Amino acid sequence: MVTPRRAAVAIACCWIVSFLVGLTPMFGWNNLNKMRRTQELNSNYTEFVITCQFETVISMEYMVYFNFFVWVLPPLLLMLLIYLEVFNLIRKQLNKKVSSSSNDPQKYYGKELKIAKSLALVLFLFVLSWLPLHVLNCITLFCPSCQTPHILTYIAIFLTHGNSAMNPIVYAFRIKKFRTAFLQIWNQYFCCKTNKNATSTTTAETGN
């Protein structure tokens, strides 16, 4: 089912949706008009100045109702259910003593379990990195009188950005195919080294 074409389409769709969701505040869903109205009510003679702080310029309605309740929480719950089902199926297969297409079912499903654990770790890191910011956003929206320290907001934002750096490391350490692919990309595009295995294979095929 997972062909290169379908994988490319899925990746492209993910990036397009991410761009649309992430750039929505730049299309007008932000606090600019509210800040202007506040400035006009306070004084008509001072220069309009925007304080570049996250909670000042970003609409909490956008962050909570649109971003969190639509694009983060439902997919997160769906992924949790899927992973629970995956682990349940693998556990059932490991307990069975029937033969499969593989010569060693225990080894095959053990490998599948290891990959599932790696992906579950990625999901756990995603939750750990993103939930603090969304919880702070909910507090800001639903409890305007509650004061949250700015340092907590900055730490939560840092975690969300750091999550993007965690995934390649987890994949590389836990899944051999990803580690091999990362090394190949690094050597080819950053160290300007050619893949010796690929070159020798091509040479052997040419000779044959």
- pLDDT band, very low/low/confident/very high, at 206 (cuts 50, 70, 90): very low
What pLDDT digit, counting tens, does each position of 87-104 carry? 888 878 777 755 555 566
Kindly report which listed range (34-48, 73-87, 181-195) carries the lowest average pLDDT score: 34-48
pLDDT of residue 105: 64
- Which sequence spans correspond to the domains of the chain? 11-58, 59-190
Confidence check: pLDDT of 208 > 70: no
Rounded to whole angstroms, the Cα distance separating 119 from 129 reads 15
Domain 59-190, CATH: 1.20.1070.10
HEC profile of the chain:
CCCHHHHHHHHHHHHHHHHHHHCHHHHCCECHHHHHHHHHHHCCCCCCCCCCCHHHHECHHHHHHHHHHHHHHHHHHHHHHHHHHHHHHHHHHHHCCCCCCCCCHHHHHHHHHHHHHHHHHHHHHHHHHHHHHHHHHHHHHHCCCCCCCHHHHHHHHHHHHHHHHHHHHHHHHHCHHHHHHHHHHHHHHHCCCCCHHHHHHHHHHHHC
Residue 197 has pLDDT above 60, yes or no: no
Output the pLDDT for position 66.
Answer: 96
pLDDT digits (tens, 9 = 90+) for 19-59: 999 999 999 999 988 888 887 777 666 677 787 888 889 99
